[in-house]
Amino acid sequence: MEEIENGLRLVANIKSGDFVPFLSETGEMDGEVLQVNGGKTGFGFHIYRMLPGQRTIPHRHIGDEEFFVLEGDIRDHDGYVYKPGDLVCLKSGTKHYSVSEQGCTLVVYLRDADDL
């Protein structure tokens, strides 16, 4: 089997990668993202990190949001608490915001509305 060509393998490490701000549509900080797919920041497959005390901007999903909680705490506006190890799917049309008292790290897959 041949070696994988340069440019076809993209790697970022959760411990040493460069997280970039994930900004809401209004330009507000809405977490940090590490991704390698070259797509729109915060969409597709990525690592999402909330800082301690952070709250996301209320939003409605166009397309399903799927995430896996790696570490930390995250609670939705209705009081539902997700814990490390939870694999979650919030269906298209879900409206919510989340809060993380201690901070959290999630693996996320979120389709861009332009891809639906």
Query: Tell me: the pLDDT tens digits for 50-99?
Result: 999 999 999 998 899 999 999 999 999 999 999 999 999 999 999 999 99
Residue 14 lies in a domain: no
Domains: count for the chain = 1
Residue 101 lies in a domain: yes
Residue 12 lies in a domain: no
Residue 46 lies in a domain: yes
We report the CATH number of the domain holding residue 30 as 2.60.120.10
The whole model's pTM is what?
0.90
Q: Residue 116 pLDDT > 60, yes or no?
A: no
What range defines the domain where residue 54 resides?
Answer: 20-115
Residue 10 lies in a domain: no
Residue 73 lies in a domain: yes
Q: Residue 115 pLDDT > 70, yes or no?
A: no
What is 5-46 written as a DSSP string? Answer: PTTS-----TTTS--EEEE-TTS-EEEEEE--S-SSTT-EEE
